[in-house]
Structure 1
Amino acid sequence: MNGAVTYSHEAAESDRTTGLREYGLVPAEAGEAPSLPDAEAAKALDNLVQLAARLCAVPYSVVNVITEGQQIQIAAFGVDARVCSREDSMCAQVFLPGTTTVVQDASQDPRFAGNPFVTGEIAKVRFYASVPLQTASGLVLGSLCVFSDNAVSPQAEQIAMLEVLAQQVVELLELQHRTLQLNDALAELRRSNTALGDFAGRVSHDLRIPLTTILGYVELAEDDPDISQGSAAAEYLSRIAGSGRRMQATLEDVLDYSKVGGQLSRERFSLLALTAEAAGDLGQALGGASGIHCDDAELVADRAQIRTLLQNLIANSLNYRSTEHALHISISAVTGETGTAVSVADNGKGIEAADRQRAMEPLVRLQRAGDGPGSGLGLATCRRIAKAHGGELRISETPGGGTTVSVWIAA
């Protein structure tokens, strides 16, 4: 029976240590105090312990984290934050049951009379009150503790408010926990994106080589004088070539999508000059019969990624133009204190309000009659570029009809 009890205690402590580690409260090295995520969180804890001491009219207050072998003070008022062994800790004797402990004179309490914080070996604590820091899941992280060198008889209302402050400490540590979880998720996402980019690059390279070979032989066959135009063989070759080129374009789109959104290389550049390059890649020139017009502006962003964004948005306008009037694409930018909004507006078919969110998802095509070819990755790629720049992408209707895509780039 004793063995079973011992095992249960050790298992419980192991689980609690795991929980403390998830909250970032177990230090990397023995004897070190853990660091809160930022200066604001540390200041908030300092304010809470100071308020706790003032509330109970005592000179000292601390937030203790109790590990398997130590008591770590992560905030303190009236004393310097320190680390001691769990064996010497007063809070370690009473914090696990999850109930508040109030002792008017610790030297008269058998639980604490021989403790070095009471005997004078470390301190001469007399009044002592401790509120466990218990999360909603039942994990006890440590305690909010107030104490004095003199015997004190606190009012019940003071202890009740001390318990409220302890809950505020728990909520602050919960916020740290969520921040750590988000940071871990972000780091994992970055690793995943890097792996995706590497994988897409390898797959794209491995598939493009045989695909290029196939298309090369198709072109040779199409030029073969023994294959007459209009024959079944010529039709089959045409279909193979069309499918192969669409696959080739999709591979390029997948590769572009996997690459964007990573580390940015910001620089200053002209929106007009970059738009001219992006349009040129599509066989278009600015102005004149192309119907593509761009206002100049200076941007500070990742030039390569913004070029990809402009090329995708212009290509979408070309693919989804209206058959009722000549195409008109207007590209502009508005810069403010917090960033720049780049807009690409056209007078094409437009996107219904109900379809706009779905149109930004990867590999989604609206499948409308008369639409040009595409992989469904253009807007998804643009959205990733916007997010990488600390902004967002929005789709709205162009006054008079058409689609306006606005991309916010944070300063």
Structure 2
Amino acid sequence: MKTADDAVRRAIIEDYGVLGGAPEPDLEGLVRLAATVCDVPTAVINIIDDRFQHQIAAVGMEPAICAREDSMCAVVFRKPGHTVIRDVTLDDRFAENPFVTGEIGNVRFYASSPLVTPVGVPIGTICVFDERPRDLADDDSDALKLIAHQIVDVLELRRISRELGESNEQLENFAAQVAHDLRNPLTALAGYIELASEVPEVAGLPTASRALARAESAADRMSGMIARLLDYARVGGAPVRPKPVDVRALVSSTIEDLRSAGEDGGVDVAVDAQTTVNGDPTLLAVLVQNLVGNAVKFAAAHGPQPRIAVGVETVVGGVRLTVDDNGRGVPSAERDLVFEPLERGSNTDAPGFGIGLATCRRVVAAHGGRIGIDDSPLGGARIWVILPA
């Protein structure tokens, strides 16, 4: 009889995606380890759904599928604890099982440990068995329990990796669509700026000419970023085209863009950036723009006197870029989370969609670098980036 627990178990098993394919090398390694540690000829990793037992990795036999009612592990896997039986012919639970009677196998010694997911749902077992009665030492029994935990860790890693891949693909498609949608109006805007700058009445006004020149420069930079981001989204990471980049100029242009858009909040940015970074100018511009823009938003949301500081220094093996602010900071428990797409953590005072830091991490990864968050001397967050020399 199927139960609600069976439906939950089936959904979790589907999320792991281990049924129907070739055995995973990591799982094969763990099942071999179980057989070696327990000194038995046969070991199996079983996944048990509402109808079948699926042997997803095995040593000493070929992985197969059997009906759940024929499974020995199905009798015990939902019960807490470890099972060790010297001779299953003397156990009423198993004496008539086809794996014992000779119909499928001739099991005598049997031991299993349940595979329990992080949310507490048992989905199967790691089991070892032999065709002769025998005992299992306490240390070997403990090792089998540990291997069961390791198997679940491998399944969880497989699930998370697949979900991240799907998330990144969605983000790439989203970025491609946004870049595509922005390209045409930006081209039109650049055309209008050029036409306006050629009007004699405007050309004779120094203030208007300077404003148009800044607007044209910003439009050119944005056009370059969109072109590369579109390429970046299409291929899942455009090849880095490294060259020496003046970080001071990069930060200054970012601040100028923010001020032109009225988004700097009157922030006085201190720049200590004497070191030249070797990297892709367009991608690093995206990185700095996101980092500084984020700091400006959160510092401005925190109080009437926002402060931002950007620094660059040479470190062993590369260059470190830091962006400090005096905002609320990022709690330690959320410092990995906020780099995920569409995640903002608990700090929702400032506007945004949680894409900026995810983009930063992709740019840093493309350069072979690292990115992280610490407490800032200014009282808020310090986001640091290390780019290899």
TMscore range, shorter length: 0.5 to 0.7
Distance apart, 1:357 and its partner CA: 2.4
AA aligned to 2:85 is V
**Structure 2 counterpart of 1:65, from 15, 22, 47:** 47
- What displacement does 1:20 show? 1.8
Q: Could you tell me which amino acid in structure 2 is paired with residue 218 of structure 1?
A: A
Partner of 1:255: 226
Q: d(CA) in 1 for partners of 2:121 and 2:56?
A: 18
The alignment partner of 2:321 has SS state of helix
Quote how far apart the aligned CAs of 1:89 are.
0.6
Distance in 1, Cα, partners of 2:386 & 2:133: 67
Root mean square deviation of aligned Cα = 4.3
Query: Which of 325, 335, 352 is the matching residue for 2:311?
Result: 352
**Corresponding letter in the other structure for 1:255:** I
Q: Aligned residue for 2:23?
A: 35
> Given that residues 82 and 145 in structure 2 are in contact (C-alpha distance below 8 angstroms), is that contact kept between their aligned partners in structure 1?
no
Aligned to 2:123: 141
* Aligned twin of 2:4: 11
Structure 2 residue 101 is the aligned partner of structure 1 residue 119: yes
Cα distance between partner residues in 2 of 1:384 and 1:136: 29
Change (3 A) 1:118 1:351: closer
Structure 1 spans left out of the alignment, 5+ residues: 1-5, 267-301, 321-327, 334-349, 363-379, 395-404
How many angstroms apart in 2 are the aligned matches of 1:330 and 1:357?
14
Shift of 1:91: 0.9
Task: Tell me what 1:238 maps to.
Answer: 209
Report whether the alignment pairs 1:178 with 2:157: yes
Deviation of 1:120 after TM superposition, in Å, equals 1.1
Is the 1:46–1:75 contact (alpha carbons within 8 Å) kept by the matching residues of 2?
Answer: no
Deviation at 1:17, TM superposition (A): 1.4
Residue 27 of structure 2 contacts residue 154 of structure 2 at CA under 8 Å; is this kept in 1?
no
**Aligned residue in 2 for 1:48:** 34
Counterparts of 1:133-172 in structure 2, within 5 Å, are 133-152=115-134, 154=135, 158-159=137-138, 161-172=140-151
Larger Rg: 1
Aligned length: 294
Please list the CA deviations of residues 174-194 of structure 1 after superposition, one character each: whole Å capped at 9, or x if unmatched. Answer: 133124312321342133124
User: What is the DSSP-based 3-state SS (H/G/I as helix, E as strand, rest coil) of the residue aligned with 2:365?
Assistant: helix
Alignment of 1:290-305 (within 5 A): 302=239, 305=240
**1:215, CA displacement in angstroms?**
1.8
1:264 to 1:113, Cα distance in 2 relative to 1, 3 A: closer
Relative to the length of structure 2, the TM-score reads 0.61
Distance 2:210 2:74 in 1: 77
Q: Which moved more, 1:168-177 or 1:111-120?
A: 168-177
Inter-CA distance 311–260: structure 2 relative to 1 (3 Å threshold): farther
- Alpha-carbon shift at residue 243 of structure 1 (Å): 5.2
Q: Report if aligned partners of 2:244, 2:276 keep a CA contact under 8 Å in 1.
A: no
Structure 1: distance between partners of 2:275 and 2:139: 66
Query: For 1:249-328, what aligned pairs fall within 5 Å after superposition?
Result: 249-256=220-227, 258-259=229-230, 261=232, 263=235, 302=239, 305-306=240-241, 310=244, 316=250
Identity %: 24
Cross-structure match for 1:212: 190
What is the CA distance between 1:87 and its match in structure 2? Answer: 1.5
User: 3-state SS of the aligned residue for 1:358?
Assistant: strand
CA contact (8 A) 1:218 1:237 kept: no
Paired with 1:306 and 1:245, the residues of 2 have a C-alpha distance of 25
State whether residues 65 and 71 of structure 1, in contact with CA within 8 Å, keep that contact through their aligned partners in structure 2. Answer: yes
1:385 Cα deviation after fit: 4.9
> Structure 1 385/265 Cα, relative in aligned 2: closer, same or farther at 3 Å?
closer
Question: Are the counterparts in 2 of residues 257 and 381 from structure 1 also a CA contact under 8 Å?
Answer: no
Is this contact kept in 2: 1:117–1:123, CA < 8 A?
yes
Structure 1: distance between partners of 2:190 and 2:214? 12
Report Cα offsets for 1:265-318 as digits up to 9, x if no partner: 99xxxxxxxxxxxxxxxxxxxxxxxxxxxxxxxxxxx4xx416x5567695399
Matching residue within 83, 101, 125 for 1:101: 83
Is the 8 Å Cα contact of residues 49 and 63 (structure 1) preserved in structure 2? no
SS of residue paired to 1:352: strand
Matches within 5 A, 1:65-84: 65-84=47-66
Q: Look up the SS of the partner of 1:357 in the other structure.
A: strand
C-alpha deviations, 1:244-270, integer Å up to 9, x for none?
32441352254156246453899xxxx
Change (3 A) 1:192 1:312: farther
SS in 1 for 2:81: coil
Measure, in 2, the Cα distance between the counterparts of 1:98 and 1:91: 13
